[in-house]
Amino acid sequence: MSLIRKIPLNTLISILENIYNSGANYVDIQGETDDSGVPQDTIIFSVRPEYMCDDEEEDNDDECKIKTLSDEELNELI
């Protein structure tokens, strides 16, 4: 298991908030390694389609919010 250190909380919270506001209820988080297996200070967030709120959940669940991400926000997530 690789350890990723010293993650800026402001950026991390902002990214997670944008993902949540886009309608995701869950996210997969993984660290990235280079070709030789050495950990890098990179975190990858993956949101599978089944992690997203569907229209029925949106109508019945106040916590399910849909927000369109701007190009800048999408680039930040990548």
Total tally of structural domains belonging to the chain:
1
Residue 3's SS3 state is coil
CB 52 within 8 A of CB 24: yes
Decide which of 52 and 78 is more confident.
52
N-to-C CA span, the chain:
22
CB 47 within 8 A of CB 27: yes
Decide which of 42 and 63 is more confident.
42
pTM of the predicted model as reported, rounded to 2 decimal places: 0.56
Rounded distance between C-alpha atoms, residue 68 and residue 59, angstroms? 18
Q: Is residue 7 part of a domain?
A: no
Q: Is residue 3 part of a domain?
A: no
Task: Tell me the pLDDT tens digit for each residue of 17-58.
Answer: 999 998 999 999 887 767 776 666 677 888 999 999 875 545
Cα atoms in the Cβ-side hemisphere of radius 13 Å centred on 21: 12
Q: Is residue 12 part of a domain?
A: no
